[in-house]
A and B are shown apart, each in its own frame.
Chain A
Amino acid sequence: MSDIAIRVDGLSKLYKIGALRSKHDTLRDRINDVLFNPFKKLAKVAKAQRNPIIRSTSSSSDDHIWALKDVSFEVKRGEVIGIIGRNGAGKTTLLKILSRITEPTEGRVEIYGRVGSLLEVGTGFHPELTGRENIYLNGAILGMKKSDIERKFDEIVAFAEIEKFLDTPVKRYSSGMYVRLAFAVAAHLDPEILLVDEVLAVGDAAFQKKCLGKMGDVAKEGRTVLFVSHNMTAVRSLCPRSILIETGRIRLDSKTAECIDLYLAGTFQDESTYRDTSSMPRPDNISPNSGLRITNVRLCTHNGLTVVKTGESLSVTMEFVCIEMLQNVGWGFYVETLDGLRLLDLKSVSSFPPFPSLAPGEYSITGSLPTNPLMPGRYKLGVGARDEARGLDWLPEVMQFTVEESQRYDSLWFEKTAGIFRVKSLWQPPVKIRTINLP
């Protein structure tokens, strides 16, 4: 026996969609059909239903989709692997096959070890039953033995922080309590191989952190974990290796950092770093006859995507037309969080005084920040131009962009860094002042 935990070989899954849709042009046709040919319809439906997953690839491609196509990989014992990809890429289908909920159409899987899968928290919770009763019920559904549940009961209750409400029906729980209890039961499942779908995206921030910590513990105990998530920070900190799935196929099976880069590049590739702003709406206080109009804006990044890495330069170029003589003009761009907190307000006056006289013509101007201090996240970019008395043009939200972690840290140390900005700070190693002799 090798040290392989999961071996997936040529796995494919075909879903037939719209199997029941028959062609009825008019309602009368439909009624006719139902009234006079009920058995024909029944037989047709029966045939379609009996074989919802068709095995031939010859039929037309628009009524079936390959949710997974020819997926192969191996997972070693004790490995923690992230599975990332867009919605509908096939991540959940893969977990469903591995946890034997549904069968593959082609290919095979070998699993060495007891499997626990967690596709949803709180599966089988019954609202009428109390917290205590639901712990037993949910535990049994997830495959725990009654003796295991009894042994871990106190731990589960403590983790969920619901001691006082143990004998209250869960229908009277707040949604937070419900989710905490549900996750607590699942977190105490003890399989050798754990399959986890996007289940951390529930509960408040503090509880999410606790769940992530628990996941980290599970990983450290040497269990094999397959972890599906859209939370890149979580994947990055838990999984050294990841698999990127795109439209049912493996796009990349490599180091997590590489997978995430490729994933984000794909996610934002349809987002252009260029915006034609000539016909974008302006705020009310901007007159269309101000004499200056910004015609386009470009966010300059290394990769041509609206993704900037932490610490990289952030540079914005705008082109504008000027149709009359203008005095004392200044330009600026600013960065806001998605909920509108302004973090940076960068103005041309920091490099040169207001431009004394601007003759009619087309111009281009670039402002840049050599190292951006932004934390990973999503931000809004705004641009504008003004003279001393009024705003000449203003585009409050020209585009959004993402700031991505530039390095992979081996610990959660940096993830736990609080604050809004990350700027380089200078430190000297400790210098000894005097020695303390221990008795």
Chain B
Amino acid sequence: MNLNTVDTPVIQIRPTKGWASLQLPALWEYRELLYFLAWRDIKVRYKQTVLGAAWAIIQPVATMLIFTIIFGRLAKIPSDNIPYPIFCFCALLPWNYFASAFSRSSGSLVNNAHLISKVYFPRLVIPISSLLSGLLDFAIAFLFLIGMMFYYHIVPTISILWLPVFMLMAIATALGVGLWLGALNVLYRDIGYLVPFLSQIWMYATPVVYPSSLIPEKWRIIYGLNPMAGVVEGFRWALIGRGTKPGPMFFVSAFVTIILLVSGAFYFRRMERTFADII
């Protein structure tokens, strides 16, 4: 008989009910799959395009130009006394990442249905991996931002050290929303139609084209219930020193992010057991 029988893992399979644990150690075991799926998304993203990764710059820059003309020039929306293009681009960076990450992770389960119905792995791998590929686009666009900061002679202050915190918050929010919508999307494909619409509304509820100083002081806390308001405001503050320092509004945003993420993860785990049967 095999000598290592004693330490072979025992897998127990039985029907589960109600809320399940997140099983983060199992997720850690599958970290390589996480990496390979993200790597696949990146590899495939710009296949058979002429401009390739340049799209990662063209998209936000074109959006910035349009916003500058419409909101900056025509509508004359204030921009906290800094040039509108960089004011807008600072916000577009986290916003674009967030919008693409949450819509990608919302659709990720349905797009990977063939994997879910044929192979076992912790299902959380799929929405999480779909967050990673967008980071590369973010990094490329960030280089462009550095160029712009040189052009406008903006020197970042020590507050730039806060940037990773805001970025993490954007990732966590995208994941939280992505987990909820992704799991719901398995049941109701309506979500697929809702997402583009939701992302548009959400952008106008976030200080991307306008400064949050336009919002009356007493409403700021409520405004912070939109976690992306805290993120975008934080990006502006960390990069160009305008906007509000992390204050009550930021903490409200951070709190909402955590709620979204934790509830999303547990909801996802609860729904997970039926994915293979109904996807």
Contact = CB atoms under 8 A, between A and B. Distances in A.
Contact of B33 (A108, A123, A140): A140
A48 B43 CA distance: 39
A140 B125 CA distance: 12
A119 to B, nearest CB: 5
Nearest to B41: A126
Contacts of B18: none
B8 A113 contact: yes
Interface string B39-72: 1100110011000000000000000000000000
A126 B40 contact: yes
A3 B5 contact: yes
A106 interface: yes
B8 A114 contact: yes
B120 A117 contact: yes
B218 interface: no
Contact of B15 (A3, A99, A105, A110): A105
Residue of A104, A120, A129, A141 with most partner-chain B CB within 10 A: A141
Interface in A107-155: 107-115, 117, 119-120, 123-124, 126, 128-129, 133, 136-137, 140-143, 145-146
Given A109-B12, A113-B8, A141-B36, A77 B120 contact: no
B28 to A, nearest CB: 13
B122 to A, nearest CB: 10
Interface string B97-123: 000000000000000001111111100
Interface residues of A, number: 48
Given A114-B9, A115-B11, A133 B43 contact: yes
B222 interface: no
B121 A143 contact: yes
Given A52-B277, A129-B40, A1 B120 contact: no
Nearest to A3: B1
Given A113-B8, A114-B8, A141-B33, A49 B278 contact: yes
Contacts of B119: 99, 101, 117, 119, 123-124, 141-143
Contacts, number: 120
A136 B36 CA distance: 8
Given A129-B43, A137-B40, A124 B10 contact: no
A39 B23 CA distance: 35
Interface in A80-111: 96-111
Residue of A77, A106, A133, A140 with most partner-chain B CB within 10 A: A140
A108 B14 contact: yes
Given A120-B118, A124-B115, 19 more contacts: A3-B1, A49-B188, A49-B278, A50-B187, A77-B5, A102-B273, A102-B277, A103-B16, A107-B15, A108-B14, A112-B9, A114-B8, A119-B119, A123-B119, A126-B44, A128-B48, A129-B44, A143-B119, A143-B121
